[in-house]
Amino acid sequence: MSAEFRAARAADLESLVAFYDDIIDWLDATTNYPRWIRGVYPAADYLGAAIRAGELFLLEEDGRILAAGGLNHDVPPGYETVDWGVEARPDEIYAIHAFGTHPTAMGRGAGSRLVAELVELARRRGMRAIRLDVIAGNEPARAFYRRAGFAERSNSRLYYKDTGWESFTLLEYVL
């Protein structure tokens, strides 16, 4: 795959909104495992803020976004109670957010390539681990992250503004 990995730029916002809308449309037509909602999550304001903070990354080929995801230190309350594989301060871990692969790129390795690039970026920046959560019932995402080398550490109830209190599987990639 000749796709380019890079940080998202302000000029990408419109394309990123369309990218996530395409994913949500596909999820709504199949099974919306992550329960993403158009205009709620991932929404333009979230994406714009992530771009401005330098926390949104994408894999692009011929001007088309194949996969995208956020990487930052933000985790909800509840992560601190998990028995993680490595002890780390909040500034020593990254969390993946809003990770998605465009429906036309699924099965072509774009998601796996983006995860590998995010892992390498975290490693270069001196992080000790990458952590994330997957909402209960999203078995495809759990399987994807396990294949990418993440270990399941906990099943916990977490609160997010867009989901309320829900059960999540928490996963970790030790660097």
Strands 4-7 and 56-61 turn out to be antiparallel
Q: Dmax of the chain from CA atoms?
A: 43
- The structural domains of the chain, with segments of one domain joined by +, span 4-174
CATH entry 3.40.1190.20 includes domain 4-174: no
Contacts 24+ apart (CB under 8 A), 72-81: 72/97, 75/131, 76/133, 76/158, 76/159, 76/160, 77/158, 77/159, 78/156, 78/157, 78/158, 78/159, 79/131, 79/170, 81/156
pLDDT tens readout for residues 26-65? 999 999 999 999 999 999 999 999 999 999 999 999 999 9
Mean pLDDT, 10 residues at a time, over the chain (175 residues)?
A: 92 97 96 91 96 98 97 95 96 97 95 97 98 95 96 95 92 98
